[in-house]
Amino acid sequence: MALSDASLALLDEARNLQPSTIRLRRELHRNPEQGLTLPDTQAAVLRALSDLPLRVHTGESTTSVVAVLEGSRPGPTVLLRGDMDALPLQEDTGLDFSSKVDGAMHACGHDTHVAMLASAARLLSARRDELAGRVLLMFQPGEEGYHGARYMIDEGLLDPAGPAGTPERALAIHITSTLRSGLVTCRPGSIMASSDVLEVTITGRGGHASAPHDALDPVPAAAAIVGALQTMVTRRTSVFDPVVVTIAHIVAGTTSNIIPETAYLQGTIRTLSESARATVHAEIRKICEHVAAGYGCTADVDVVLGYPVTVNDDRMAPHVLDLAGDLLGAEHTEPMDDPIMGSEDFSYVLQRIPGAMAFLGASPVGVEPGTAPANHSNRVTFDEDAMVHGVAMYTRFAMDALS
């Protein structure tokens, strides 16, 4: 089916903005910042928005930027999110705009998210007279494990008395190097997992390694716990409600002839429903304590809560795909069959607002999709041409909500 004149015009305008979209993306890529405090990134965003008719607010607890575009007529609020922070990684891409900061890299594409959202703000500003309501632009720090979205929500982002009132729908677009460039994919329901950190300290009684009967060795207890946790996943949770428990860090002892007093385990817990999350937390505690007791040891179990399950609205996710089909053509849309076990703090927004997280493919030119270095790799690169589709999708989603 041929694209409509309106879709072609919007894509042309997004393509015309591509030089400035790329310029901002590369500026951020050269100067990555991590965590909740991103002063240079915040300043770059403010410069990019400075000539637009927006009400701009900066965060108090983080270096967030919230910008509000008021339409020409009253109406609801729609939220568009772009996260801003980088990862603790040494870049090895060879790009001529590689990171200038040792040990920091935009390896998850957040630089592209910011650039796409800033250009969408420009397209929407030019269409202000067509909008009945307002657009809430959420430039968020601290997505990579720092709960940045929660900080912004705690400052009133989604409140009725907040910067733009409570939004009625929300969209975040996440770029990925492993999907065909320009492809938009989404699914209703759980799309990304919860993410919690498990820490277990097993305490026994130290002694000489030649006389284990005079000690209470925590190392065998720790090894048994690792195995028991994997059995728990397959025996205490449903295969139709996936769970991942991975112990990725084990510390015990100092040398070959000393039985240590303690052993330490650390790992990750991933689930796709809050009910499975609660079940797994309870079972983990039980298993660790009881297995340790069987070895004469004790286990101190701590589950550090991370991001909730990211759950797309059952109506909004298919709607995003419908909009993508109308805007980009059916060949650039694809329903997402399965969720992924990565996590996202856009989950905090989706707990409150009907909306969706969608993925935008940006596999590098000349590379078979699915074979490129993935997000979070020190070698990941993205096809910048895909950003045209991201800019247009943000714009179309808001216009659809406020037309």
Q: Which residues are catalytic?
A: 307, 384
Task: For 268, list phi and psi in degrees, rounded to 5.
Answer: -120, 150
What does the alpha-carbon distance between residue 124 and residue 131 come to, in Å, rounded to a whole number? 9
Helix pair 316-328, 5-16: axis angle to 10 deg: 80
Least Cα distance to 238 among 277, 282, 287, 202 occurs for 277
Burial class of residue 30 (count of CB atoms within 10 Å of its CB; 0-12, 13-18, 19+): middle
Listed in order, strand segments (DSSP E) in 204-327 are 207-208, 243-252, 258-259, 262-271, 298-304, 310-312
According to DSSP, residue 181 is labeled T
What does the alpha-carbon distance between residue 310 and residue 348 come to, in Å, rounded to a whole number? 8
Burial class of residue 33 (count of CB atoms within 10 Å of its CB; 0-12, 13-18, 19+): buried
* Structure tokens that stand for 23 in this block: 């310029």
* Structure tokens that stand for 224 in this block: 């048994």
Helix pair 39-49, 110-126: axis angle to 10 deg: 20
Asked if 110 and 85 count as a contact pair (C-beta separation under 8 A), the reply is yes
Asked if 355 and 312 count as a contact pair (C-beta separation under 8 A), the reply is yes
State whether residue 138 is helix, strand or coil. Answer: strand
Tell the residue number behind the tokens 């728990």, with chain if given.
232
Residues 6+ apart with CB under 8 A from 19: none
What does the alpha-carbon distance between residue 259 and residue 263 come to, in Å, rounded to a whole number? 10
Distances (CA, A) of 393 to 36, 137, 365, 386: 27, 14, 21, 11
